[in-house]
Structure 1
Amino acid sequence: MSASTLIEPLPQQASQKKQPWLQKSVLPGFGLSLGFGTLYASLIVFIPLAALVVKSFEMPLDQLWDVITNRRALASYRLTFGASLIGATLNLFFGLIVAWVLVRYTFPGKRIVDAIVDLPFALPTAVAGIALTAIYAPNGLVGQYFALIDIKIAYTWIGVTIALTFIGLPFVVRTVQPVLADLEAEVEEAAASLGASRWQTFKRIIFPALLPSLLTGFALSFARAIGEYGSVVFISGNMPYRTEITPLLIMTKLEQFDYAGAAALGSVMLLFSFILLLLINLLQHWSHKRTGG
């Protein structure tokens, strides 16, 4: 009888063979940590969101349907999601350019520019709204020149889009920047030595590696813009049916002590945000599989 047949695996070893994911954990107490993590997430995220949905059903269904589908609510949805989508798309493009410049080039004042990118994170949203309004108002530093050609920025959907673009830019830059820094320039040089053009190098080497982080930055920027309030209320003018965003409409409901109506509008925002973020996560998963990440 060989020695290998005399040595039987211990129960714990057999359990680990059946459950190989246990071997990947460097922290002990998986069950305990999972329980605490689930409890924390439930108290902070799941239970409040569930309470929001439950609160909205305190009113009759016909009244609930009228609150979330009336003309004023639909106009606020269009402005909120439309401006957020445009702002996130702009940040997707220009955020990549800013990250590229900060990673690939050295220039005087680079650290200052790198710090300025994070200003929308630290700046109070009300201060950002006041600053943007002062710049883009008809008598502002920039708005006065657009007023000469009869283009109004502040107190229109354009001003709302600018505010949402402003607060969402750092999300794209900070998610793309570390991935771009990890890309080796030697790979691009090898592609160029093999005859690849700059566009081919970007399309086949750089872009596939950056795509997951770009989608993540887009999702974060989009989600941040949907819930933005402080920087928008100053530059939008808050005109119903024209420049009123959904968060402002929810605040109006709260000021009128219509908590169920505010919860109903919040539930609609929650549903649409979840669906859009789920689609983006599916795109990320597809991108990881496609690139072998």
Structure 2
Amino acid sequence: MTATVQSSRWHFREPGVIPGFRLTFGFAVCYLSLVILIPLSGLVWHSSNLGWDAFWALASDPRTIAALKISFGSAVLAALINTVFGLVVAWVLVRYRFPGRRIVDAVVDLPFALPTAVAGIALATLYAPNGMIGAWLADFGFKVAFTPAGIVVALVFIGLPFIVRTVQPVLEEVDREIEEAAATLGASRLDIVRRVLLPGLLPAILTGFAMAMARGIGEYGSVIFIAGNIPYVSEIAPLLIVIRLEEFNYAAATAVGVVMLSISFLMLLIINLIQAWSRGRFGHG
């Protein structure tokens, strides 16, 4: 009996369409190692040659700290904005049929196909003080282009598809009869959203948030044209890495890269733990 239980406990391989677990697993590990693990390990290894004191001096430089705060703060804020409005866009695309729906659905993917530099130039042109939107906002005392607000606008633009495309397929699988049953039992619309829909959508929302945030942290092309790139004010960490490389200060560029890697990994790990908890808590996955 014990042997049977032990055997079933370790029997984790299921037959699939692609034969050869060992071959495909080995290929997957090799591919991930070549593309991700080895380059990142090289970055960490190069930074370890600096020594702790030199690494800390470079990582704790006031300009580096300011750039990291701007990059991570803007990415988190943009991801939060996209979480709210991306959920609304996904809801409209799934639950309503209207003229031009396919066009709207295709426009959501436009930031994926559009070169980031083109997006940055377009946003800078629109939100500049003399631009179509920037001039209108200037009448109310708001300035977007060449400020930290411009960074958030650019990250919202490139991060929206991650939320919509992550939540949309999950929302399509939600049975409307569940909502109708809840309404029949006297639940208000807010209760239906809070207690019926959101628990099932939470893992997908967290996944989209993590992807949008991760994309925003490393974004470069769409930001540099609208940010202003003023040190301590609107200079992002990826731009600071490029500047250090142009100065041939490879040690400083490596230090900034390792700090970004460490913080990003920690944030994504926390989000994944929350996502796993939500799946277990609400019985999904």
1:75/1:242 contact within 8 Å kept: yes
For residue 54 of structure 1, give the secondary structure of its aligned residue in structure 2.
helix
Q: What's the counterpart of residue 102 of structure 1?
A: 93
CA separation in 2, counterparts of 1:17 and 1:170? 41
Q: How many Å separate the matches in 2 of 1:248 and 1:279? A: 26
Aligned equivalents of 1:32 and 1:16: distance in 2? Answer: 22
User: For the residues of structure 2 that align with 1:200 and 1:151, how far apart are their CA atoms?
Assistant: 37
**Superposition map of 1:1-293 within 5 A:** 17=8, 19-23=10-14, 25-293=16-284
RMSD: 1.7
Show structure 1 runs of 4+ deviating over 6 A: 13-16
Closer, same or farther in 2 for the Cα pair 1:167/1:15, shift >3 Å?
same
What is the deviation of 1:159? 0.5
Q: Counterparts of 2:183 and 2:51 in 1: how far apart (Å)?
A: 66
In 2, are the aligned partners of 1:56 and 1:261 still within 8 Å (CA)?
no
The one-letter code matched in structure 1 to 2:209 is F
Cα deviation for residue 236 of structure 1 reads 0.6
Question: Letter of the aligned partner of 1:155 in structure 2?
Answer: F
Deviates more, 1:189-198 or 1:206-215: 189-198
Q: Identify the residue that residue 5 of structure 1 maps to in structure 2.
A: none
One-letter identity of the residue aligned with 1:265: V
Q: Percent identity?
A: 54
Per the alignment, do residues 23 and 73 of structure 1 end up closer, same or farther by CA in structure 2, a change over 3 Å counting? closer
Task: Choose 21-30 or 268-277, whichever is displaced more.
Answer: 21-30
Superposed CA deviations along residues 182-232 of structure 1, whole A, max 9, x for unmatched, are: 101111111111111111111111000100000000000000000000000
Mapped contact 1:57–1:260 kept (Cα < 8 A): no
Moved more, 19-28 or 218-227: 19-28
Q: Following the alignment from structure 2 to structure 1, what is the Cα–Cα distance between the partners of residues 16 and 96?
A: 39
Deviation, structure 1 residue 251: 0.4
> How far apart are 1:143 and its partner, in Å?
0.7
Q: Distance in 1 between matches of 2:52 and 2:175?
A: 58
How far off is 1:95 after superposition?
A: 0.3
Farther off after superposition, 166-175 or 260-269: 260-269
Q: Supply the distance in 2 between the matched residues of 1:73 and 1:14 (Cα, whole angstroms).
A: 54
The 1:18/1:77 distance shift into structure 2, 3 A limit, reads closer
> Which stretches in structure 1 are left out of the alignment for 5+ residues?
1-12
For the residues of structure 2 that align with 1:251 and 1:115, how far apart are their CA atoms?
34
Q: Call closer, same or farther: CA 1:15–1:62 in 2, change over 3 Å.
A: closer
Query: In structure 2, what is the Cα distance between the partners aligned to 1:219 and 1:169?
Result: 12
Distance 1:141 1:204 in 2: 42
Using the TM superposition, give the Cα deviation of residue 119 of structure 1 relative to its aligned residue in structure 2, in angstroms. 0.6
Q: Letter of the aligned partner of 1:50 in structure 2?
A: S
Deviations 1:148-202 (A, max 9, x none): 2332111111111110111000000000000000101111111111111111111
Q: TM-score, normalised by structure 2?
A: 0.95
Q: 194-203 vs 223-232, which deviates more? A: 194-203
Q: Which runs of 5+ in 2 are unaligned?
A: none
Aligned residue identity for 2:176: A
- Aligned-residue offset at 1:18: 6.1
Counterpart residue type for residue 193 of structure 2 = F
Provide the C-alpha distance between the structure 2 equivalents of 1:132 and 1:40, rounded to a whole number of angstroms. 37
Partner SS state of residue 264, structure 1: helix
* Deviation (angstroms), 1:16: 6.3
Please say which structure displays the higher CA radius of gyration.
Answer: 1
* Superposition deviation, residue 19 in structure 1: 3.4
Q: Distance in 2 between matches of 1:62 and 1:253?
A: 19
Residue 60 (structure 1) shift: 3.9
- CA change 1:14–1:92 in 2 (3 A) is closer
